[in-house]
Amino acid sequence: MDRDYSNLLALRGLVLYLLPFIIVGWLIGYLWPVLTIALTGLIVWHYYYQQRLTRWLWKSRNLLPPTAPGSWGYIYDGIYRNQRRSQSRRRSLAKLLRRFREASEALPDAAIVFRSDGSLLWSNKLAQFYFGLRWPEDAGMRLSNLIRYPEFFAYLNNGDFSEALTIPSPMRESLDIEIRVMPYSDDQFLLVARDVTQGKQLDTMRRDFVANVSHELKTPLTVLQGYLEMLTDVENVPPAMAQRAVDQMQQQSDRMKNLVDQLLQLSRMETPSHDVFEQVVDVPALIEELRLEGEKLATDKQLTLTVDVEPIKVYGKGDQLRSAMQNLITNAVRYTNAGGQIRITWREVNNEVEFSVEDDGPGIDSDHLPRLTERFYRVDPDRNSDSGGTGLGLSIVKQALQHHNSHLEVNSKPGLGSRFWFRMPAGLVVDS
Ligand code: ADP
């Protein structure tokens, strides 16, 4: 359809059309009337093709232009060519837009595009979820009306986007959303938001952890420092008092060592290891060892320890299982009042094997149960730190059990006692 059509060609066409009329008009002696008829015909011809063009442009659904001779054919083809070009440009733009939208939906972040006057141009699904936006109903609305937080309003108004802003999600207060805004054309801005709840929680946990460790170490260190100051003037300290000081210092340094040992144990356990079939653990022998240790601890309080053990061995990490069982037995001994009873069992239950330590001690209020395995959590911080505990025992148990596809369960009633237990999956039981 493409044709070259020069001015020269147009002129040649006109001359070729008029020439026969000029010759005939001149021969019959009516040059001007004949020429007028010829030019009128030319106008009618142009008018006809102009009408066809108008009809094709406005009424026809056919993309192909009607056929036309001469200069009109050239015009029709030119328009058709331009239409085709812009259609394919439109198509590739639509494709690009679709790809951009698909890519932005795949982003792990919420994205919002808005104008400098704050009106919403576009948002992805995650943004609709975080901020409760409705799409396309909210298109064109002001963002500060849609996300109604004074801090967000001030942030947008201020126009300084060098720092990120963190606000709670309007849909779920428990989600913390970090917002960043970037200008990306004269008049448009891209807002990217991400969920930073977990990061913030981890930050708080890390801060709490450091504060707790420092606090736990500070108390025995202060005691040690006090006694050391007293002993600098050792000649004036009565021997009985000096002995007491040394005993106390020994006790406090044991406490610090215990804390550091437990922290090291916890950090070792944090390294994931999938080799749970590392070794065969002779749990009955292990329990016997722990019973003897427990009895030594329990003599002052005259506790009775009974043991009911089935001869079942399991695959696992010996040191971690030892730690878990030892902590549970030590706690029972530590928290049970004088004359109390402690019962340790290891037995098969529905193809699994259950370890349980039951005592008739003070029991634990149900409010505390969900938090017992948190690091440094104690039911009664003042009383429990006197008992020599660090608040890390049950978090070590939790971590050790996690490595064995198991978890700690607690049944406890204040005044009636507690039962701490866990079950090891059938797959870890060694066939006898
Ligand atoms: P701690 O080193 O203080 O014993 P744990 O993590 O082992 O720390 O235990 C957390 C808290 O759970 C303890 O401080 C104690 O208040 C409570 N607890 C644990 N075992 C028992 C139990 N057998 N009877 C009563 N309370 C217990």
Is the CB–ligand 1 distance for residue 378 below 6 Å?
yes
Residue 106, number of CB atoms within 10 A of its CB: 8
Domain identity same for 297 and 210: no
Domain identity same for 78 and 116: no
Per-residue confidence of the chain (432 residues) as pLDDT tens digits? 445 567 788 888 889 999 999 999 999 999 999 999 999 999 999 999 999 999 988 988 887 888 888 888 888 888 889 989 999 999 999 999 889 888 888 888 999 999 999 999 999 999 998 998 988 899 999 998 998 889 999 999 888 999 999 998 888 888 899 999 999 888 899 999 999 999 988 998 899 989 999 988 998 999 999 999 988 887 888 888 889 989 999 999 998 999 999 999 998 888 776 677 778 999 999 999 999 999 998 888 899 999 999 999 999 999 999 999 999 999 999 999 999 999 999 999 999 999 999 999 999 999 999 999 999 898 886 655 566 678 999 999 999 999 999 999 999 999 999 999 999 999 999 987
Ligand 1 mean position, distance from CA 332 (Å): 8
Given strand 176-183, what is the order of strands in its sheet?
120-123, 110-115, 188-195, 176-183, 165-168
Q: Is 275 within a domain?
A: no
Provide the CATH number for the domain around residue 378. Answer: 3.30.565.10
Is the CB–ligand 1 distance for residue 418 below 6 Å?
yes
* Residue owning tokens 């971690």: 320
| pTM of the predicted structure, to 2 decimals | 0.65
Q: Which of 173, 195, 217 is the last residue of a domain?
A: 195
Domain count of the fold of the chain: 4
Q: Is 102 within a domain?
A: no
Domain identity same for 226 and 152: no
Q: Which atom of ligand 1 is nearest to the CA of 332?
A: 23
Domain identity same for 236 and 353: no
Domain identity same for 295 and 421: yes
Domain identity same for 72 and 158: no
Domain identity same for 175 and 230: no
Q: 234 lies in which domain range?
A: 201-270
Q: Are 192 and 111 in contact, with CB atoms under 8 Å apart?
A: yes
Strands 188-195 and 176-183, bridge-based pairing: antiparallel
Q: What is the pLDDT of residue 402?
A: 92
Q: Is 115 within a domain?
A: yes
Q: Is 288 within a domain?
A: yes
Q: What is the pLDDT of residue 276?
A: 73
Q: What is the pLDDT of residue 64?
A: 83
For residues 432 and 429, what is the distance between their CA atoms, to the nearest angstrom? 9
Q: What is the pLDDT of residue 2?
A: 45
Q: Whose CA is nearest to atom 16 of ligand 1?
A: 379
For residues 53 and 47, what is the distance between their CA atoms, to the nearest angstrom? 10
For residue 62, which amino acid is it? N
Domain identity same for 293 and 397: yes
Mutate to test the pocket of ligand 1, among 331, 395, 410, 411 (most ligand atoms within 8 A of CB): 331
Q: Which of 195, 210, 237 is the last residue of a domain?
A: 195
Ligand 1 mean position, distance from CA 396 (Å): 12
For residue 265, which amino acid is it? Q
Q: Is 100 within a domain?
A: no
Domain identity same for 313 and 415: yes
Ligand 1 mean position, distance from CA 431 (Å): 34
Domain identity same for 305 and 374: yes
DSSP, residue by residue, 369-412:
GGGTTSTT--SSHHHHHHTT--S-HHHHHHHHHHTTT---EEEE
Provide the CATH number for the domain around residue 144. Answer: 3.30.450.20
For residues 21 and 79, what is the distance between their CA atoms, to the nearest angstrom? 32
Is the CB–ligand 1 distance for residue 394 below 6 Å?
yes
Q: Are 190 and 181 in contact, with CB atoms under 8 Å apart?
A: yes
Ligand 1 mean position, distance from CA 225 (Å): 28
Joined tokens for residue 18: 């008029």
For residues 194 and 373, what is the distance between their CA atoms, to the nearest angstrom? 30
Residue 234, number of CB atoms within 10 A of its CB: 10
Ligand 1 mean position, distance from CA 334 (Å): 8
Is the CB–ligand 1 distance for residue 364 below 6 Å?
yes
Is the CB–ligand 1 distance for residue 133 below 6 Å?
no
Ligand 1 mean position, distance from CA 391 (Å): 7
Is the CB–ligand 1 distance for residue 390 below 6 Å?
yes
Domain identity same for 49 and 117: no
Domain identity same for 142 and 213: no
Q: What is the pLDDT of residue 155?
A: 92
Joined tokens for residue 5: 């059509």
What residues pair up with 182 in beta bridges, in sequence order?
190
Mutate to test the pocket of ligand 1, among 384, 396, 413, 419 (most ligand atoms within 8 A of CB): 384
Q: Which atom of ligand 1 is nearest to the CA of 359?
A: 23
Q: Which atom of ligand 1 is nearest to the CA of 363?
A: 25
CA distances to 43, 79, 164, 250, 253 from 75, rounded to whole Å, are 17, 6, 57, 105, 100
Joined tokens for residue 427: 């797959």
Q: Is 255 within a domain?
A: yes
Is the CB–ligand 1 distance for residue 362 below 6 Å?
yes
For residues 31 and 33, what is the distance between their CA atoms, to the nearest angstrom? 6
Q: Whose CA is nearest to atom 11 of ligand 1?
A: 378
Q: Is 1 within a domain?
A: no
Q: What is the pLDDT of residue 104?
A: 81
Is the CB–ligand 1 distance for residue 326 below 6 Å?
no
Q: What is the pLDDT of residue 172?
A: 81
Q: What is the pLDDT of residue 382?
A: 66
Strands 341-349 and 304-309, bridge-based pairing: parallel
The angle subtended at Cα 102 by Cα 98 and Cα 104, nearest 5°, is: 115
CA distances to 206, 279, 421 from 276, rounded to whole Å, are 28, 8, 20
Q: What is the pLDDT of residue 5?
A: 62
Q: Is 2 within a domain?
A: no
Q: Which of 66, 95, 124 is the last residue of a domain?
A: 95
Ligand 1 mean position, distance from CA 121 (Å): 56
Is the CB–ligand 1 distance for residue 332 below 6 Å?
yes
Q: What is the pLDDT of residue 1?
A: 43
Ligand 1 mean position, distance from CA 377 (Å): 8
H runs (alpha helix) in 59-149: 70-106, 125-131, 143-146
